[in-house]
Structure 1
Amino acid sequence: MNKEAIRQQIVDTANRRYATKKYDPHKHIDPADWQTILEAGRLSPSSFGYEPWKFILINSPQVKEDIRPFAWGVANSLNGADKLLLILARTDVTYDSDYVRGLVEGLHHHQFSPDSKASQSFKHFQERDMAINNDRERFDWASKQTYIAMANMMTAAAELDIDSCPLEGFNYQKMDDYLTTHGIIDPKHWRASVMVSFGYRDQPIKPKVRQPLGQIYEELN
Structure 2
Amino acid sequence: MGNTTKASTITKEEILAAYEYRHATRVFDSSRKISHEDFEFILETGRLSPSSFGFEPWNFVVVQSPEIREKLVPYAWGAQKQLPTASHFVLILSRLPRDMAAGSEYTQRMMRDVQKLPPEVAEGKQKTYDFFLKSDFRLEGNERAMFEWGARQTYLALGNMMTAAAQIGIDSCPIEGFDKEKIEQVLTAEGIMDPEHFGIACMAAFGYRVNEPRGKTRQTAGQVVRWV
Report the TM-score, using the length of structure 1 for normalisation. 0.94
Residues 101 and 112, structure 1, Cα contact 8 Å, conserved in 2: no
Is structure 2 residue 20 aligned with structure 1 residue 28? no
CA distance in 1, matches of 2:134, 2:121: 14
Alpha-carbon distance between aligned partners in 2 of 1:27 and 1:189, rounded to the nearest angstrom: 35
Q: For 1:79, what is the secondary structure of its paired residue?
A: helix
Aligned length: 220
Sort the Cα spacing of 1:4 and 1:63 in 2 relative to 1 into closer, same or farther, 3 A.
Answer: closer
> Does structure 1 retain, via aligned residues, the 8 Å contact 2:92–2:154?
yes
Q: TM-score, normalised by structure 2?
A: 0.91
Q: Where do residues 145-164 of structure 1 align in structure 2 (5 Å cutoff)?
A: 145-164=153-172
Q: Which one of the candidate residues 53, 57, 63 is aligned to 2:68?
A: 63
User: Residue 111 of structure 2 contacts residue 122 of structure 2 at CA under 8 Å; is this kept in 1?
Assistant: no
**How many angstroms apart in 1 are the aligned matches of 2:44 and 2:17?**
22
Q: 2:84 aligns with which of 79, 83, 89?
A: 79
2:151 corresponds, among 135, 143, 147, to: 143
Q: What secondary structure sits across from 2:91 in the alignment?
A: strand
Distance 1:10 1:194 in 2: 25
The answer for the alignment partner of 2:3 in structure 1 is none
1:58, 1:106 → 2: CA distance? 28
Q: CA RMSD in A?
A: 2.1
* Distance change >3 Å, CA 218–CA 4, structure 1 → 2: farther
Amino acid in structure 2 at the alignment position of 1:150: L
Report what 1:208 is aligned to. 216
Match of 2:207 among 199, 202, 207: 199
2:53 maps to which residue? 48
Q: Is the 8 A contact 1:113 1:119 kept in 2?
A: no
Per-residue deviation, 1:26: 0.4
Amino acid at match of 1:131: R
Q: Quick one: structure 1 residues 104 and 13, their matched pair in 2 at CA, closer, same or farther if it must change by over 3 Å?
A: same
Shift of 1:56: 0.1
Stretches of structure 2 that go unaligned for 5 or more consecutive residues are: 1-5
